Amino acid sequence: MLDKKLYDLQEILRELESVVVAFSGGVDSTFLLKVALDVLGPEHVLAVTADSETYPSTELEEAKRLAQLLGAPHQVIETSELNIPGYAENNKNRCYFCKQGLFEEIKPILDQSGFKNVVYGLIADDMSEHRPGTRAAREHGVRGPLQEANLFKEEIRELSKQMNLETWEKPSFACLSSRIAYGEMITLEKLTKVEKSERYLKGLGLRQIRVRTHGDIARIEVEPHEMEKLLPHNEEVTNQLREYGYKYITLDLAGYKSGSMNR
């Protein structure tokens, strides 16, 4: 079954002939980039990464390193979600504005390169979640080959492992804006506060981290089995996150869950 899905993905990419890959350096886009390079060759593939306020600098450097490691032509573009009308207001269609802005920025690159298609890391799991960005993709004719091949996250991790991609066990990541409760204005100050907090917590050896922001409350999500790593540092964590600007620091006993703000 997995071999069949990989074959389907390869066929989809082969039919696209040449692609610009919206590349974040995460599990899905790295796998997509790798398969695109294998099928089409580097002369027909371009990885594009958007450097913005919502994308941590550590992730940008990781994306650059991974693209080089894979031998992919790579271009970094400067974007600003906070300047996109409707984005900072942070309603439930926030991701639509983000993806719309991203694809509009990529279109001139597509035209200049002569490539035929833009692809991004949409996966089968996403179809059961609130993903307004998919509407922007449809409007711009952007394809999601992983989803079209019906590949789920765990299958992508398994195939990535088989291909010796180091991202096979990389923690899931989403933009920093996803940490801020819907309805709260997104500001550079809040994004910086989240980025600093998550970087600090990862330094304690925690693998999967989210610092969900509800006003002056930090709701920390980690995987349940990692809570015991965090609790002995409770006073230190409290003091550090207060220094970053939070007033109350909490631990979500339900543990990490992707897209938990959608609840």
Question: pLDDT, tens digit, for every residue of 82-93?
Answer: 998 889 999 888
What span, in angstroms and rounded, lies between the C-alpha atoms of 78 and 146? 26
Give residue-wise pLDDT tens across range 78-135.
999 999 888 999 988 888 888 888 999 998 998 888 999 999 999 998 887 777 888 8
Q: Is 90 exceeded by the pLDDT of residue 263? A: no
Give residue-wise pLDDT tens across range 152-166.
999 999 999 999 999
Alpha carbon 164 to its chain centroid, in Å, reads 21
Count the residues in the chain: 263
Residue from 21, 72, 175, 176 carrying the catalytic annotation: 175
Mean pLDDT of all residues in the chain? 93
175 is catalytic: yes
Q: Is 90 exceeded by the pLDDT of residue 5? A: yes
pTM higher than the cut 0.75: yes
Question: What integer pLDDT is reported at residue 225 of this predicted model?
Answer: 93
Question: What integer pLDDT is reported at residue 126 of this predicted model?
Answer: 85
In this prediction, residues 33-38 reach a mean pLDDT of 98
